[in-house]
Amino acid sequence: MVDVNSVVVSSRIRLARSLSNYLFPPNLQGEDGYSVIKEVADAVLPLGNFKVFTMQQLPALDAEVMQEKHLISNILLENHDNGAVILSDDESVSIMVNEEDHIRAQCFLKGLSLDKAFDTISRVDDAILNKVNVAYDNTLGFLNSCITNVGTGMRASVMVFLPGLTLSNEINNLIQMLNNQGLTVRGVFGEGSEAQAYMYQISNARSLGYSEKEIIAKVSSSCLKVCEAELAARKKLIENNEIELKDRVMRAYGTLTNAYIISADEFMKCAGEVKIGIALGLIKFKDNSLIDKLLFDALPSTLTKMSGEEALSETEEKLYRAKFVAQTLRNNRIK
């Protein structure tokens, strides 16, 4: 049995749906955008524990925080005219309205939990399908704005932490292998983004020609193989470079707990190094999940929101981040 806990960070299932009686979001005009929001909200809100936020009314900083948490995309963030998001109280379910498609409903869970995430988002999807007319073809399946979302309209993805494969220069071969298997690998913030803190997203490249169960099985089985390869790479690293690795980890920890100012990029780099140390047992904390939480709390907009200010200058942001990170970590290390 492969131990996936130190490799898999989180799982996400996303379902794309488009309404049959409206133009795709980029071409929506007049009151049609609001009508789509109302139809989707009327279907979801009876489930309870959901709230609707329109991009037009949502404060810019709050919207940016949602984007950093992956609750909304950059595309929705910029759709001030008719974009909206419907969130569950615990933020495990996010339904983007009028993004590239009219509906992109997603569920996030910790660890390798694709089946559970699918069960959760399916209940939301069923409620929507029972009340909203979506574009569907008996041969092709769900019809959406992007060809990769035609079919089931499902994207199953896992966020994985791969320092071993990255540092041993095996990551490019792994990405090529996954691409050949019909999977795609992206950075932390999705398409077009780079890997940060050694974290990558692995997901299916298309949804046409496969059932939901087949997609989940394929992503899950590939993820288990990635975990095996990553754990083997870590073992080699610690066997051959333990002293160098520990020095690397402790230097990063020293920066995080003593720096007077620290940028988001430098923080992500150092946090990734400390996360390696935790995974390899080179450094221990009372709560090892602190680093994972900091990876989001120390991002620019989330940090600004936490400071209580409407905005922070670049220098103020670096100062606040350094102080916040140091206070969070300094008294939690087990020596």
Domain boundaries, the chain: 241-334
Alpha-carbon span 167 to 214, nearest angstrom: 32
H-run or E-run covering 284: strand 284-285
Coil, helix or strand at residue 285: strand
How far apart (Å, rounded) are the C-alpha atoms in residues 164 and 237?
Answer: 7
pLDDT, tens digit (0-9, with 9 covering 90-100), for 236-283:
999 999 999 999 999 999 999 999 999 999 999 999 999 999 999 999
Average pLDDT over residues 84-96: 97
**Model pTM?**
0.92
Contact 84, 37 (CB under 8 A): yes
pLDDT per residue as tens digits for the range 14-71: 999 999 999 999 899 889 999 999 999 999 999 989 999 999 999 999 999 999 999 9
Three-state secondary structure call for residue 87: strand
The per-residue pLDDT for 1 is: 59
pLDDT at 214: 96
Rounded Cα gap, residues 58 and 122, in angstroms: 27
How far is Cα 96 from Cα 63, in angstroms, rounded to an integer?
12
Could you tell me the two tokens for 24?
């795709």
Amino acid at position 249, single letter: V
Report the pLDDT value the prediction gives residue 26, as an integer from 0 to 100.
87
| Cβ-contact 216, 118 below 8 angstroms | yes
Q: Model confidence over 91-146: pLDDT tens digits? A: 999 999 999 999 999 999 999 999 999 999 999 999 999 999 999 999 999 999 98
Q: What's the pLDDT score for residue 331?
A: 86
Per-residue pLDDT for 2 more than 80? no
Confidence at residue 189, expressed as pLDDT on a 0 to 100 scale: 55
* Structural contact between residues 105 and 99, judged by C-beta atoms closer than 8 angstroms: no
Question: DSSP 3-state assignment of 243?
Answer: helix
Question: What phi and psi values does residue 100 have, to the nearest 5 degrees?
Answer: -70, -35
3-state secondary structure of 211: coil
The pLDDT assigned to 289 comes to 87
Rounded distance, CA 29 to CA 7, Å?
Answer: 45
Cβ 128 vs Cβ 116: under 8 Å? no
